[in-house]
Amino acid sequence: MRTLIVFALVGFGAQLVDGALGMAYGVTSTSLLLLVGTNPATASASVHLAEVGTTIAAGLSHWRFGNVDWRLVLRLGVPGAIGAFLGATLLSALSTDDAAPYMSGILLALGVYILVRFSVRPPRVSTARVSPHRSRFLSPLGLVAGFVDASGGGGWGPVATPALLTAGRTAPRTVVGSVDTSEFLVALAASIGFLLGLGTEVLDPWTIGGLLLGGVLAAPLAAWLVTKVPAAVLGTAVGGIIVLTNARTILRALDAGGATTTAVYLVIVVLWIAAVATAVAKLRQQAAVAPDAATDAEPAAAAARD
């Protein structure tokens, strides 16, 4: 029961972040599972099995709030499922010693990307509620994102969401909602791959059940927060957490000394604080510029009417 409660809280927090950013449920959950010593393949399998349920809840919630483009979901999710199955098969075949640094390395890189992406260069904003992207762009994106997601224990959102937001052709809420919804296909395919490669004996139902319960409870709130929370600040904060937790796993694998570990942690924390401060400062600048732009536009509008 204690395990169920602990991982329900982990799943709740991870889904809250994922639903607001369109990324980081798998990265956050897997990072925490690795931190407590879970086998890498088992960690990724547990997270993806839980995601089969959480993505259904997230998809329905985003659909309810009008955040889903179903054509984008299919064009991105089907190739994503293929990539996820291949990634799960690869990770299942690796030994624990080989898989742990590999997975933590991917998660660390994704954490750095999220941290820098949201603090230094926030995504451009569009208002289009239907994505204009074609399959020739979405299919390779989905295939790569699905493979990274299953083999690295997370990555569907961190790869797919920024790529779509960077293009600046689709409203952020539609990108987040559609990516979250298409993740059901990815989670289902990855789960099948892990079950075929690992079997069921290595999986802990309390861990999976906790992650699932917390994620399902958080999904409706997360779908609402996507239109309210400043993504730049939240993304920067989450990126720092991911970097810190996976740096710890890698340092342990390298048998780093106490002085080295402390120095690395200090550098990460300092850079993390600086990134959050940068994100907050940019938001304040944008808030200050917006009223001025509106004021300048009023005389021009009046002249046009005259």
Instruction: Kindly state the average pLDDT of the residues 23-46.
Output: 74
Q: What is the pLDDT of residues 259-290, one digit of tens each?
A: 888 898 898 889 888 888 888 887 777 777 65
Instruction: Kindly state the average pLDDT of the residues 38-60.
Output: 80
- Local confidence band at 186 (pLDDT 50, 70, 90 cut-offs): very high
In the chain, where the domains are located: 2-296
Lowest mean pLDDT among 170-174, 255-259, 273-277: 170-174
Higher pLDDT, 119 or 71: 71
The reported pLDDT for the residue numbered 294 is 47
Instruction: Kindly state the average pLDDT of the residues 38-48.
Output: 78
Contact 69, 129 (CB under 8 A): yes
- As a whole-number percent, the residues of the chain with pLDDT over 90 amount to 8
Lowest mean pLDDT among 22-31, 45-54, 108-117, 140-149: 22-31
Q: What is the pLDDT of residues 191-246, one digit of tens each?
A: 898 888 777 766 778 778 887 788 778 767 766 766 666 667 766 776 777 787 77
The DSSP result for the chain, as a single string, is -HHHHHHHHHHHHHHHHHHHHS--HHHHHHHHHHHTT--HHHHHHHHHHHHHHHHHHHHHHHHHTT---HHHHHHHHHHHHHHHHHHHHHHHHS-HHHHHHHHHHHHHHHHHHHHHHHHTSPPP----SS----HHHHHHHHHHHHHHHHHHT--HHHHHHHHHHHHT-S-HHHHHHHHHHHHHHHHHHHHHHHHHHH-STT--HHHHHHHHHHHHHHHHHHHHHTTTS-HHHHHHHHHHHHHHHHHHHHHHHTT--HHHHHHHHHHHHHHHHHHHHHHHHHHHHHHHHHHHHHHHHHHHHHHHH-
Pick from 41-45, 145-149, 215-219, 239-243 the range whose average pLDDT is largest.
145-149
Does 3 score more than 50 pLDDT?
A: yes
Q: How many CB atoms lie within 10 A of CB 292?
A: 9
The reported pLDDT for the residue numbered 80 is 94
